[in-house]
Chain A
């Protein structure tokens, strides 16, 4: 845990790009608030699958405690981008990348970095709910601790806290011993969120978390995202522009025009939807294509 003073000095060492969201973070950060890291910044991220150049030169800042939505048509590299952040990109055979991902000023790709530690700090929720089938609901929540071999004093408290924060506690408190697969799709996704929270990440990446869910479950997860943003940085990929408008503080528009995916524009969410600077952004958010 860094004190506010220390995080100030860390921030000073990180040269902040003009117009990056880290500027905004410094403005937003008020003395006395709980330190939740200095956020995340990507610099010049490129990604390849074999020879296919999927993503070109993405530089984006994600201030601590904000929700950033990534929007754009399918195949523009949004998911690839967030997978480079927690180093899940390298999971794919033939994958390559360039650039830096700075978490609290440290490059997650620096030589000698323990990749499992990075993934503990940067959690992820996937598009399809994927609770572990061989575990109960309770075991699923605590599975991250077991996987990373972390010790906690009171597992039951942690389990309850995570399920409460994911908005699932009241629905499952009487059947923690049931299988994760016995829940509905929306509940399974909230279980996956609870599972990601149990290892206390600073950053939560969400890859279209609601695309497989009904509107009711979607609203509950959006509620959850708003609550979570008080204590962590959230990056959410979504195809639903209303969702981006509802949950996010900032929105980045990605687009691939034949070549690799690029970031066209990033701004506070209300600006992206009311007065986008780029014509292509306007065409997309007004539904003229994509």
Chain B
């Protein structure tokens, strides 16, 4: 009993102080050598520091581990440092973009931005004149119409490929893949020449949304197909064996089981189109006032607002553009978070 009582919980797998010290000295050594290296050679600039530091760090850790525990440990250390470098290299641009947008956009954010449109203001006016209400409502309208059109088509396409497995499976999968590579300007020109010129002959939100739908369908269809393929076949068999028709089985069992994945597919679809500018320039005309009618008249949108403000060139206009970017990123973030919450809450119920 006594030796059970006297046992102290320890974590022997944790790094000791000595090991931590060597890790820190390797890090510092790599830091100093990168500094010396840059100072002594003609290579200059931030990128040189980064590159030399990472190479030196990877080199030092693997040499140290090789001396300590042999070649397998050296390889492990080398791959570990490569992974760390990869993570840093991936994360830095993301945070850099977000920070830049925040730094340059925040001065342009005010309450009036969300309550006014640009009907009585030009991009070069002082910042307290006008706002981007028309652009926010326009983007939301465009995304909503594109969602309504592309989600059923995209998911039904995926169901055709995974559940019905019809004889046109091959050609349709090929078409969907080809469509996902279509440049957005081509989708815009297609709607322009196939619908806008011959039929409506006028700018409208619907025309822009149609082009966005073309861009969104392949993303939703492909991702949904991947997700539906992951649903185990046993569930389909169980539904069929209980006397369900194929449609009832798909609607009651397969789709609910794939719900969170399908939410992801829709989010990716929205991400694909939220910032699209080229088709919008061609098809919606880009108004400066709030246009509640998606079927007629030019409609503003955030990408268009950003583009127009940057083109205006004055310091106020540039700040407006950055503020528009910040609002666009925020809007997309809100859309994604609410989609995730909606998907997970229903799944948890």
Contacts and interface: CB of A to CB of B under 8 A. Distances in A.
Interface of A: 86, 88, 91, 93, 116-117, 119-120, 123-124, 126, 128, 130, 132-135, 143-144, 146-149, 192, 195-196, 199
Contact of B257 (A86, A91, A124, A134): A134
B237 A149 contact: no
B242 A144 contact: yes
Nearest to A116: B243
Contacts of A126: 234, 237-238, 241
A130 B259 CA distance: 18
Contacts of A195: 242
Contacts of A192: 238
B99 interface: no
Looking at chain B's contact residues, the main secondary structure is helix
Contact of B252 (A91, A117, A146, A196): A146
B242 A196 contact: yes
Nearest to B245: A116
A146 B235 CA distance: 15
Interface residues of B, number: 21
B235 A91 contact: no
Contact of A91 (B237, B242, B245): B237
A123 B256 CA distance: 23
Given A119-B243, A135-B256, A143-B253, 15 more contacts: A91-B237, A123-B241, A123-B242, A130-B232, A132-B235, A132-B238, A132-B253, A132-B257, A134-B253, A144-B244, A147-B244, A147-B252, A148-B244, A149-B248, A196-B242
B240 A130 contact: no
Nearest to A192: B238
B241 A86 contact: yes
A181 to B, nearest CB: 11
A86 B248 CA distance: 18
Contacts, number: 73
A86 B242 CA distance: 10
Given A147-B243, A147-B249, A149-B248, A134 B237 contact: no
A253 to B, nearest CB: 25
Nearest to B248: A147
A88 B246 CA distance: 12
A124 B235 contact: no
B256 to A, nearest CB: 4
A126 B235 CA distance: 10
A195 B242 CA distance: 8
A130 B237 CA distance: 9
Interface in B213-240: 232, 234-235, 237-240
A119 B241 contact: yes
13 contacts: A91-B240, A116-B243, A119-B241, A120-B242, A130-B234, A133-B235, A133-B257, A135-B256, A144-B243, A146-B248, A147-B253, A196-B242, A199-B243
A120 B256 CA distance: 23
Contacts of A128: 234
A234 to B, nearest CB: 15
